[in-house]
Chains A and B, each alone.
Chain A
Amino acid sequence: MGILEVKGINKRFGGLQALGDVNLSVAENTVHAIIGPNGAGKSTLLNVLVGKLIPDSGSVMFDGQSVLGRKPHEINQMGISRVFQTPEIFSDLSVFENVMIPCFAKRDGAFRMHAIESTHHEKDIAEQAMAILEDVNMADKRNMIASAMSRGDKRRLEMAMCLVQDPRLLLLDEPTAGMARADTENTIQLLKDIRAKRGITMAIIEHDMNVVFSLAERITVLAQGTPLVEDTPENIKGHPKVREAYLGEAQV
């Protein structure tokens, strides 16, 4: 029984069957990649997992609880964090504030009226925030306004914001999309470090085969909204069906 259990998900947009009978099981403490050609339904599946889309049928269980019908902030409070394709950060705030906010969310829940207390007196929060910034090598940039950073740094910041909450499942939506080679390598290294250090369960949606094969322990291949096959990276590489659907175009 995995930490995330997706059973029989169907989702239609008008005449298009975006997801057809998707089953997926992400085991605790693994990195599970979901790959597939454009239009395979990867992003739709991810949006279902985080509560942005509600499927027509099926169930999504996280740690024995259904996530369907819950709002994004409730799903986050259950322990699922999400990294976006283009980094979603608080651009007008400082790097330090960016990581303090998830700490507050983790400690105080979805809403708390702490309007009189001074932020500077929150020593625990500041320590947590500082520790995670050191982990991702951004401690020296803590007073920078987030929008002034490079794209690679924004990605690291977003990761830090997710990690500081100590999520039980980290969802990554094409974490290296549109990145230069060096940035991609850095991101892979960062994810490997996170994995080694914290043992966080991750589900990655990714286009870049290099990223997938250097990180994933299990791979699910989606094609036309249906899972084609699920296996270890070694077996996926040689799988004829996968080659036909997807890898035939790519060099592996």
Chain B
Amino acid sequence: MLGLNSRDFRLFLIVCALCLFAPIILNPFPVASSLGESFNAGYPALMQRFVIFGLLVIGFNILFGLTGYLSFGHAAFLGVGSFAAVWMFKLLSYNVVPAIILSVIVAGLFSVVIGYVALRRSGIYFSILTLAFAQMMYSIAFSDLVGKLFGTIVTNGETGLQVYNDDPQILLGQGDPTVPHLFGLEMNSAYTWKIGGWEFVFQNGYYLSALFMVLGFYLSIRIFRSPFGMMLRAIKSNQTRMSYTGLDTKPYMLAAFVISGMYAGLAGGLLAAMDPLTGAERMFWTASGEIVVMAILGGVGTLVGPVLGAGVIKYLENIVSKINDSILHNWFAFMPDWMDNLLVTIIHPFIGKGWHLTLGLLFMAVVIFLPGGLMQLGEKFTALFRRKKTDDAKTGATNPAE
């Protein structure tokens, strides 16, 4: 179906269904319950991040997963995409279509230039080159060097770029929405479904982002299964044989780099479409590092791993950082006081601002015990299940029914 084999198609359907029902799946607890307050993740701002960062890491995985080239500056393309989108809002109107299109194009152009230079080297040198480019772009954006050069505003430096009332917005008609919208469909408007103690929020912005993520996921499956994808894996495996087989590795690498840069640009454009302001910090090297961590945590080179990694990290970032000592005391209220206090003292460093500590421990555990990322956990479970099944089949065969 859709040019996919049955296994990939099933996977694709599962991802579609998860995206469609995410507002329900991620809100398993009643709103008013203490569990709901702490663990419900089905609110639009977070769900948007799940799918947008999922999309970003899917693109990153086409480069890193297939070719093994570790780009340490991918956040630069994300930032460039965001700036391009906000500029479209400033110049044209709040319609997200031109914003998203331009963000992809601009990120593509930047990745052609950066890729062309960085791909002259491989391995660690390639990573360092991409990091250097990204940090240069961050500095330029943060101090708005380009703007200062021309006596105008391009990235608006530390303040960040946003839309002001006196911006041209030449396509803005009377009565048009003054928030990002898709031909009148406002991104931040939502339908809330209340049932019992539960509340499920279905937001336009989330569904637009999810649609793009699903499309991006579909494209990545096609690339993985194409001759082009096979060539990229061949590059990872043996570049010497590649060139002695009559294949030019450079254009293959550059194509992979630009595709993944455009994914990042799209993600940046979507971030701006959800919230029409952006700043240079989106391009900082820690943001690039986060992308790498997401990919490795989920499972490099797998189809779903990147989405999973992005989801887990965004979930931890938002959920674990929200937990504080008083919430913990609430949970442990049934225990004797000394035990309650002891537990809270132990857990304290890992919650709130300490969520990075939790992430670090999780990351270490995954890298050591599951080098294939969280996806490997799934594989191990299925292997276990299969073995049980075949064992059953064997015993069934040796003890024939009378």
Contact = CB atoms under 8 A, between A and B. Distances in A.
A86 to B, nearest CB: 11
Contact of A93 (B234, B248, B259): B234
Given A101-B230, A161-B241, 14 more contacts: A76-B245, A92-B236, A100-B227, A104-B231, A105-B246, A106-B246, A110-B246, A110-B251, A112-B228, A114-B226, A119-B226, A119-B227, A119-B229, A165-B245
A109 B248 CA distance: 9
Interface string B236-278: 1110111111111101100100010000000000000000000
A120 B245 contact: no
Contact of B248 (A106, A110, A118): A110
A90 interface: yes
A93 B231 CA distance: 10
Contacts of A102: 245-246
Nearest to B8: A118
B238 A73 contact: no
A92 B230 CA distance: 11
A81 interface: yes
Contacts of A119: 225-227, 229-230
Contacts of B244: 50, 72-73, 76, 81-82, 84, 88
B399 to A, nearest CB: 33
Interface in B2-37: 3, 5
B223 interface: yes
A71 interface: yes
A77 B252 CA distance: 17
Interface string A116-141: 11111010000000000000000000
B247 A110 contact: yes
Interface of B: 3, 5, 222-223, 225-231, 233-234, 236-238, 240-249, 251-252, 255, 259
A91 to B, nearest CB: 6
A70 to B, nearest CB: 11
Contacts of A101: 230-231, 234, 242, 245, 247
A252 interface: no
The 8 A-B pairs with the shortest beta carbon distances in the complex, nearest first, are A76-B246, A115-B228, A110-B248, A105-B246, A90-B237, A88-B241, A92-B237, A111-B251
Interface of A: 50, 71-73, 76-77, 81-82, 84, 88-93, 97, 100-102, 104-106, 108-120, 122, 161, 165
Contact of B243 (A72, A91, A118): A72
B243 A114 contact: no
Given A89-B241, A111-B252, A116 B222 contact: yes
Contact of A113 (B228, B242, B243, B249): B228
What is the predominant secondary structure among interface residues of chain B facing chain A? helix
Contacts of A106: 246
7 contacts: A72-B243, A72-B244, A76-B244, A84-B240, A90-B238, A112-B227, A165-B246
A84 B236 CA distance: 19
Nearest to B68: A92
A122 B227 contact: yes
B220 to A, nearest CB: 10
Contacts of B241: 88-90, 161
Nearest to A122: B227
Contacts of A108: 227
B227 A104 contact: yes
A115 B223 CA distance: 5
